[in-house]
Structure 1
Amino acid sequence: MKKVQDFYFKKAKEENYKARSVFKLEEAQNKFKFIKASDTVLDVGCSPGSFSQYMLNKILKSGSVVGVDILPNSFAHQRFTFILGDIKEMDITTFNNTLFDVVVSDAMPNTTSDRETNHFRSIALCRAIFNLAKDVLKENGNFL
């Protein structure tokens, strides 16, 4: 079967992003301007790294991005720190009591052939991300 490569897939490759999903983040940033130049950002479910790539282009040298995922991540940058692990087992101490200006996530659980299982896994993951964001987000911070 031939693999379909849409406009955003091709655009991501042309702009050296690891995934086409980065354009969802770009659209939100263009509309709401929620990432500021000196922000400290947490990227939950960061693999393969396109959200982190994009955010590092938006922040200055004083800003940084921390990415967490249960999957290994090959993305590397001097202002990017990767933490391998399950967010359900993390709290603010995982991040050395750092509070973040922005928390973003495009995480998705592993899927099965059972829709109901997928649905409940997705809800559980969203809740875990929300609970983590409540612990680590600065007052008046942004959560996407």
Structure 2
Amino acid sequence: MERDFYSRKARQEGYLARSIYKLRQINSKHNIISKNSGVLDLGCSPGGWVQYCSELGCSITGIDINPVKINGRNFKFRKIDVLSDDVFSLPGKFDAVISDMAPKTTGIKDLDRARSYNLALRALEIAKNNLKPNGNFLAKVFQGDEFIKFLNECKKYFSFVKCDKPMASKSKSIEMYIICKGLKTKN
């Protein structure tokens, strides 16, 4: 089973989550995150994406309502709900905003997809507010009725927008990652 492979691999290599391989695969293909850049990680728990960004020498601010078991001089954890307005008062701007957020699934496909879309829209709003000019954005969203709508919304604000499903994702998963590069500056 592919899930078992990446979960086992993560444990063997000392990573907190199998999701590290998704980000590694996406970044090696699309170069969303550069070495030593400033990264805002939305929904950062359990910390796999933080670990990857740390390996790149990035300065990471992680936001989640759940704690993260990572300490490091380049990592700052903020216990903030992304749905609160507190997320808009973070100091500084970032080179990349990344989001692997997913809703708690109910098993009701339309509801789960709608919740994923709403989280992705919120991540986009946060990215628009917290990115440096020409910054990059990466977000997970479930495929469904709103998927193309979200893709088109991203195209309004970024020079390059593409979707990708990394090999580390389960083949039956409806998750897709939207890669957005080059935040357009306001005229």
* Superposed pair shares fold, TM > 0.5: yes
Picking from 64, 69, 79, the partner of 1:69 is 64
Equivalences for residues 35-114 of structure 1 within 5 A: 35-59=33-57, 63-89=58-84, 90-93=86-89, 95-96=90-91, 98-114=92-108
In structure 2, relative to structure 1, the CA distance for the partners of 1:37 and 1:5 (3 Å cut) is closer
Matched-pair contact (CA < 8 Å) for 2:19–2:48: yes
> Percentage identity across aligned positions?
38
AA partner of residue 13 (structure 1): R
Which structure shows the bigger proportion of residues in strand conformation?
Answer: 2
- Count, aligned residues: 137
In structure 2, relative to structure 1, the CA distance for the partners of 1:117 and 1:5 (3 Å cut) is closer
Rounded Cα–Cα distance in structure 1 between residues aligned with 2:37 and 2:88: 17
- Provide the alpha-carbon RMSD of the alignment: 1.8
Normalising by structure 1, report the TM-score: 0.87
CA-to-aligned-CA distance 1:10-64 (integer Å, 9 cap, x gap): 11111111111111100112112232222110010100001001101012xxx41
Structure 2 gap ranges (5+) = 139-187
Normalising by structure 2, report the TM-score: 0.68
Tell me which stretches of 4 or more aligned residues in structure 1 moved more than 3 Å.
Answer: none
AA partner of residue 86 (structure 1): D
